[in-house]
Amino acid sequence: MQLSKETKDIQEQLGHYCQTGQLIKPIVGAKLERLPHYRRLVFNVIKDSLSSAYPLTKSLIGDEKFYQLCFAFFSTHACKEPQVYKMTGEILTYFKEHDVLNLKSEFPFIEELMLFEWTEMEMYMMADLALPKAKKSGDWLHDILVLNPESRLLDFTYPVYKVKPNQLLKEKAGQHFCVAYREKNTGKIYFIDVSPLVALIISAINTGNKLHSIFDELNQSGIKLNEEQKDKIVAFLKSESSLVLGFIH
Amino acid sequence: MIDLNGKVGLGFRRDLSEDLLTTNGFKPSFVELAPENWMNIGGYWKKTLDKIVLQYPVICHGLSLSIGSPDKLDFAFLKDLKLFLDQNNVHIYSEHLSYSKAKNAHLYDLLPIPFRQDAIKHIVERITIVQDFLERKIALENVSYYTPVAAEIDEATFISEIVNQANCNLLLDVNNVYVNAFNQQYNAKEFIKNLPLNRVKYIHMAGHEKIEDDLIIDTHGQDIIDPVFELFDFAIKHLDPVPVLLERDFNIPQLNTLQKEINALENICAKNWNLKHAAI
Ligand SMILES: [Fe+2]
């Protein structure tokens, strides 16, 4: 490398200062009173991007704690993503391992709330996936149902996707399923609450199983559905035209 | 390829997308966008991007290349970048002569590089690699800075040595020259005259904010002030026609205010460059 160790050290010192606000030693030839502007400008980018990615989390814990969390994250974690919006996803992995503000004991659902907010953002921005070829009409029971490739089946311990954050403290830990998908025309992300049974059926459809054989398998494993229940499931799939895109005969 | 020399474009922000895509008479000659905000995306904003690319010539101005960084170049990023430039028919790609990454941590802002000989060699080597990889010349911008860091040579020499040795282009940000001349107390016109002006292929113009008696911050959040227009008028007298960009990132005003600034820039271009053309 052409760069001398001394120059490299100086550059890294300034970088470290911007990241942490701490100066290990004075930076050669720099006006010390000007350095806080860099620190401020850098941290503003972080605060603003995280605030717009996690508005619910921010309003739940309040601005002060939220900014403390941003600070703890950015000052101890080396951000890997060259794209700022992707950087906002890095706080999730950080937060899994580091809860310096003890937020999880106060808000047991907070990690899931952040995951929900990130999922919405990430799915809204994610690159387009090619639409599989599917026929517009077909047999709901005996054809393969083609699901929107831009969809995900999610399970949560707390219903973070349907209950307002300030009401979540009243919720007990449980099992909550939803399907998230990106609607083709508007690009909006929808989170549809589904029962554990429908979640199971959707994941079976995703692996290429036809509905009638899914029902058979459920039957064999002791989950017996009457005709009305089966009709309801088909009606639900029919109503979600942005989730079920068509048929393969 | 449309000739953008002497034309005035606008920095593309998401809040401006509807105005730029409706037929309301507001149509800058080109738009500039940061590839980092638009690459690897889909959905609504990808559709918007596709429409923009159909309706406007697009120039790219990057944020995360970190050409002056002590860290290694990020080839995965460069690969995505090249694909983005190719897919969107982008002919001009510029970046900042600064660094935004150290010790493998992105800092998402532009830090000043020590004006030193070893930094020159380091950056020249990296520009060469980047230009080879992207299979195009890049333009590097003189950035605003609020303190020099471990400088051993002057800024104009630093910039000139780099663009000359690396055989790359220069993006002259006139507002940054003004901001730096004020903050570091040097003569802006002298500074411009000391740059390799034959390498200037693109110009940026913007507003700034004076936050202390002796400090201006380059915010891109205000209207362009008259002394910066005057410096622009001075600078382009020494240049061949190139594209000129109005950068406005915050505090975005009414369209007619933006249009007035665009018109003012176009008039200065016409005054200086049309005369020059007539004389040839
Ligand atoms: Fe600029």
Instruction: Report the complex ipTM.
Output: 0.93
CA distance B29 to chain A (A): 27
Nearest in space to B55 (alpha carbons), one of B47, B66, B67, B64: B47
Answer yes or no: is B279 within a domain. no
Mean pLDDT of all residues in A21-47: 93
CA of B99 to the centre of ligand 1 (A): 15
The total domain count for chain B is: 1
- B251: confidence class by pLDDT, cuts 50, 70, 90: confident
Are B101 and B72 in contact by the 8 Å Cβ rule? The answer is no
* Nearest-by-Cβ selection for B43 from A1, A45, A128: A128
CB atoms B37 and A85 under 8 Å: yes
CATH number at residue B59: 3.20.20.150
Answer yes or no: is B278 within a domain. no
Return the domain boundaries, chain A: 5-125, 144-248
* Nearest-by-Cβ selection for A11 from B70, B104, B217: B70
Best residue in B149, B211, B212 for a mutation probing chain A (most A CBs within 10 Å): B149
CB atoms B107 and A15 under 8 Å: yes
- What are the tens digits of pLDDT across the range B109-158? 999 999 999 999 999 999 999 999 999 999 999 999 999 999 999 999 99
Answer yes or no: is B182 within a domain. yes
- B24: confidence class by pLDDT, cuts 50, 70, 90: confident
Answer yes or no: is B204 within a domain. yes
CB atoms B147 and A30 under 8 Å: yes
Answer yes or no: is B280 within a domain. no
- B219: confidence class by pLDDT, cuts 50, 70, 90: confident
CA of A128 to the centre of ligand 1 (A): 31
Report residues near ion ligand 1: CB below 5 Å. Answer: B 173, 204
CB atoms A37 and B69 under 8 Å: no
Q: What DSSP line would sit under A52-73, residue for residue?
A: HH-HHHHHHH-HHHHHHHHHHH
CB atoms A7 and B99 under 8 Å: no
What's the CATH architecture for A144-248? Alpha-Beta Complex (3.90)
Full domain range(s) for residue B198: 8-273
B44 vs B15: CA distance, rounded Å: 13
List the structure tokens of B258. 């933006």
Answer yes or no: is B3 within a domain. no
